[in-house]
Amino acid sequence: MYALYFMLVTIICCVMMSTTVANEMKTHIPFYKQMCKSIQAGEMCEKLVGYSAVYKVCFGMACFFFLFFLFTIKINSSKSCRAYIHNGFWLIKLILLAAMCSGAFFIPDQDTFLNAWRYVGATGGFLFIAIQLILLVEFTHKWNKNWTAGAKHKQMWNGLLALVTLMLYSIAVAALVLMALFYTHSEGCMYNKVLIGVHGGLCLFVSLVAISPCVQNRQPHSGLLQSGVISCYVMYLTFSALSSKPPETILDENNRNITICVPEFSQDLHRDENLVTGLGTTILFGCILYSCLTSTTRASSEALRGIYGTPESEVARCCFCCMPEGDADAEEHVEKRGGQSVIYDEKKGTVYSYAYFHFVFFLASLYVMMTVTHWFHYESAQIEKFFTGTWSIFWIKMASCWVCVCLYLWTLIAPLCCPTREFSV
């Protein structure tokens, strides 16, 4: 239900940033002007659209999740009073969320609030991205450790490791070649050429470090599978960043302006505003919701605190993110209360950290706010221009790429830099 609340508010934010929806409402809703005046939203409801409205709505949603983050700290049993509140009372929570989002429109001194809240949103958005990058690096190590453990008993796992590693590097190399073909031009695109070359070199560098003898001595589970996943993700972020960069124009032989550094088919995509709006909004929903739900599991919260399973306890399986069959029967039963099924399996506490769950959604609220309003290009932001390049989005994705590489490198060289300290990944 929390995810549904989150999606509902995100949809409202996208509607507020859509000039197409605003114009349709003006055209088809009778007495639109009178209704706007009656709710004191301006002559044409201008207070309910644009980046400032999104900031206020997301402020209410962020406060909602932050309030529950504080409320659910140190809940160790799903049978406690606070846990019952967390797992029920959905109508009251919906009313509370609506009240918080609406109340944000009555905050005095709006200019000061918006300026201050923008920096809070940027900080929370960056932290949300950092959590996703940390969990990605943890995922790669967990994957390799699980399959390497299986290789000690069955050679099939060695074959799977080699096959998947080959596929990952093939995808990374193909992406590098395609970006070099479609996002560069002989007469310009210097940023693109440098970044494609640098990121290709970074992928090669982390791959060599992962299999270097000094790293292998300290971390026998380090290998090319992890670096292959990181290389694919670096290529994805590079592609995403290059797609988000404002296009360059040059004069051709007929002294006409032509757009370079972007594929020709992408220019046709940008001309269809309805397609861009629908596609952009769908991608936004899917990526953020997936990130939230995968970041709020018990394993994710333990990984962020540096708690990992021992290699001896690993049981190799293709779907290694799922619980082994033997653990499914361990002290759990299901009880329905307040319209929701609550699973009791509390040998390590609650099934997932309630406080961490709400904190991730709090950060996701800030990330949605910044993403929908194009980060620091908020004044000209529209959902129809979701795929239109801006420099702020470009550099944020570039920074995410470099942070991801640095995090992975640190997991490789940390045991060498601090030999007396115990590291487990």
6-29 per-position pLDDT tens digit: 888 888 888 877 777 667 766 666
CB-CB neighbours of 124 under 10 Å = 21
381, 389, 290: which is closest to 52 by C-alpha?
381
Nearest to 134 by CA among 370, 352, 308, 361: 308
Neighbours of 348 (CB within 10 A): 10
pLDDT, greater one: 107 or 275? 107
pLDDT of residue 332: 44
- Asked if 97 and 5 count as a contact pair (C-beta separation under 8 A), the reply is yes
Residue 273 clears pLDDT 70, i.e. is over it:
no
d(CA 101, CA 249): 42
Please tell me the predicted confidence (pLDDT) of residue 154: 74
Q: Which of 391, 388, 287, 368 is nearest to 51 (CA)?
A: 368
* Angstrom distance (rounded) from CA 290 to CA 368: 13
* 3-state SS, residue 251: strand
Q: How confident is the model over 247-270, as pLDDT tens digits? A: 777 666 666 766 777 776 555 544
Segment 78-89 shows an average pLDDT of 84
pLDDT-based confidence at 328, cuts 50/70/90?
very low
d(CA 62, CA 59): 5
**DSSP E strands: which ranges in 95-175?**
none
State residue 64's pLDDT score: 93
What pLDDT, in 10s, does the model give residues 183-205? 887 777 788 888 999 999 999 99
Q: Mapping DSSP to helix (H, G, I), strand (E, B) and coil, where does residue 400 land?
A: helix
How far apart are the C-alpha atoms of 298 and 351, rounded to whole Å?
7
The pLDDT of residue 110 is 76
Distance separating the N- and C-terminal Cα atoms of the chain: 33
More confident residue, 78 or 346: 78
Give whole-number Cα distances, 125 to 75, 278, 308, in Å: 26, 23, 26
pLDDT at 41: 61
| Eight-state DSSP code of residue 30 | T
Express each pLDDT in 275-309 by its tens digit.
555 555 566 666 666 666 665 565 655 555 555 55
- pLDDT value of position 172: 92
For residue 249, give the H/E element and its range. Answer: strand 248-251
Strand, helix or coil for residue 228:
helix
Q: Can you give the length of the chain in residues?
A: 425
Residue 334 pLDDT > 50, yes or no? Answer: no
> Among 135, 146, 139, 140, which Cα is nearest to 356's?
135
Judge whether residue 315 has pLDDT over 80.
no
Q: Which of 122, 244, 116, 263 is nearest to 183 (CA)?
A: 263
DSSP for 325-371 reads: GGGTTSS-EEEEETTEEEEE--SSSSSS-HHHHHHHHHHHHHHHHHH
Distance separating alpha carbons of residues 210 and 233, to the nearest angstrom = 16
> What residues are paired with 344 via a beta bridge?
333
| 37, two tokens | 């005046």
In this prediction, residues 42-69 reach a mean pLDDT of: 82
Could you list the beta-strand ranges (E) of 146-196.
none
List pLDDT tens digits, range 156-168.
777 888 898 899 9
Write down the pLDDT at residue 170: 94
| pLDDT at 327 > cutoff 50 | no
d(CA 196, CA 201): 9
Percentage of the chain lying above the pLDDT 90 cut: 12
Given a contact cutoff of 8 angstroms between Cβ atoms, the answer to whether 364 and 288 are in contact is yes
Angle between helix 110-151 and helix 273-295 axes, rounded to 10 deg? 60
pLDDT classification of 135: cutoffs 50, 70, 90 = confident
Grouping H, G, I as helix, E, B as strand and the rest as coil, residue 250 is strand
If you compute the radius of gyration of the chain from its CA atoms, what whole number of angstroms results? Answer: 24
Pick from 204, 190, 197, 206: nearest CA to 176: 197
Rounded to the nearest 10 degrees, what angle do helices 273-295 and 2-16 cross at? 150
Tally of CB atoms within 10 A around 305 = 10
